[in-house]
A = this chain, B = another copy of it.
Amino acid sequence: MTTLDLVQMGQQARAASYALARLTTDQKNALLHSIADALSAQTPAILAANAQDVAQAHANGTDPVWIRDRLDLTQRMAGIIADVRSVAGLPDPVGREYDHKTLPNGLDVRKRRVPLGVLGVIYESRPNVTVDVATLALKTGNAVILRGGSDTLHSNVALVNALHSALAQHGLPAACVQVIASTDRAYVQQLLKLHDYVDMIIPRGGSSLHAFCRENSTIPVITGGIGICHLFVDSSANLAASLPLIHNAKTQRPAVCNALDTLLVHSDVAAAFLPQVVDYLGKDGVRFKAEPRAYALLQGDERVSAAGDGDFDTEWLGLTLGLKVVDSLDDAIAHIRQHSTQHSDGILTETPEHAATFLNAVDSAVVYVNASTRFTDGSALGLGAEVAISTQKLHARGPMALEELTTYKWLVTGQYTSRA
């Protein structure tokens, strides 16, 4: 294992960021197409490296479904390459000028969108994230330091080799995209202290990774990705139309952060609706944790158990759904304020005033009326890409894509103007 000098990596990333910041949109798009070409040309080497990681994962007794769905690139290279070309086609936020004004003293003042500079991204074992994040960073003129999961080290190094060959073709330093090629967690600690060189830390992983970054980083961290998501079925909701929506929110992809965790049902309709929910979702394997009033309406159904302490503070990430009866919109809002992670929460209602009150009062990154929580996603909300989902409130909230990898600077031009 080589010894890495993280300070040097930070300095080199900073220097590389200056080179990237000078590129035009056309130059950046040409770079991305070269990256796609290099990934195509080097696919055999990438898959050979990936096979090493896959074999090691099997040897470690890792869940084969997980290996197939997340680690194994055999069926995924074409998709990864297509995604790179798709990012090349997205609008470039960098360079846009706005908030232009001329002050009474003649000063011309405007803001310009510019790259953040250097991003640090810490993620778990999905090698496609390596290309995905690097591509979005380069498109916005940022250098990036990547620290992937230890299970994907060979894959990540091979993927970044392809990126480096494309960078070299364009006369750009390899330090535009660096990988911490070590499984030693001490390097993560060091990365989190590089506030002189790194402008933003994006953790992509579970709640423990986010907490670790929040506790240890001296660099601003985009925390998020943890969703305890709620839907409230109001008494006026179209119940028949609500069932497939709730099914979608819970079961379409139960392991992700925008999947539904808790269903709140107005007491006026709970007796009629809750058994329908249990039947509609239960046939696809969903099991239920019900608080006492909901449990009383469902007792005897073997798919339903009594909710225990902390169940409404649990992100299920699987086919479990919490059920609760509430007596009013205000009660629903109060429950959500207490238990939500401010990710994605919605109301199903035919009462416009209730929809408006819910949108006002629920302080989550994405608030829904009559729509599935599953839409909290950069692509699904029309951003064309996604680098993370933020549940903190600074800089960016909800899905983050290209614009959210930029900042602005103020440009002020005078005529040898002094402050009065």
Cβ-defined partner of A397 (8 Å) among B380, B408, B419: B408
Query: A45-53, A63-71, A169-177, A359-367: which one contacts chain B?
Result: A359-367
Copies of this chain, how many?
A: 2
Residues of B within 8 A of A321 (CB): none
How far is B333's CA from A22's CA once the two chains are assembled, in angstroms?
14
Determine how close the nearest CB of chain B comes to the CB of A190; give it in whole angstroms: 15
How many chain A residues touch B (CB < 8 A): the figure is 71
Q: Contact: B366 with A409, CB < 8 Å? A: yes
The 5 closest A-B pairs by CB, nearest first: A371-B414, A248-B418, A241-B416, A374-B419, A394-B395
Q: Contact: B419 with A407, CB < 8 Å? A: no
- Given A22-B360, A360-B22, are A368 and B409 neighbors across the interface (CB < 8 Å)? no
A148 at the interface (CB under 8 A from B): no
Q: A21-B360, A248-B418 are in contact. List 18 more A-B contacts (CB 8 A).
A: A107-B371, A109-B382, A117-B393, A199-B392, A242-B416, A245-B417, A245-B418, A248-B419, A359-B411, A363-B409, A364-B409, A365-B410, A366-B412, A370-B416, A370-B417, A371-B414, A372-B414, A394-B407
- Given A380-B419, A393-B200, are A371 and B412 neighbors across the interface (CB < 8 Å)? yes
> A residues 199-222 with Cβ under 8 Å of B?
199-200, 214-215, 218, 220-221
Determine how close the nearest CB of chain B comes to the CB of A114; give it in whole angstroms: 7
29 CB contacts below 8 A, A to B, read A103-B382, A107-B375, A112-B359, A114-B363, A199-B393, A199-B394, A200-B394, A220-B221, A220-B392, A220-B393, A238-B416, A244-B416, A245-B416, A248-B419, A359-B411, A363-B409, A368-B412, A370-B413, A370-B414, A370-B416, A371-B416, A372-B414, A374-B418, A375-B412, A375-B417, A375-B419, A380-B419, A394-B395, A394-B407
A252 at the interface (CB under 8 A from B): yes
Q: Contact: B413 with A355, CB < 8 Å? A: yes
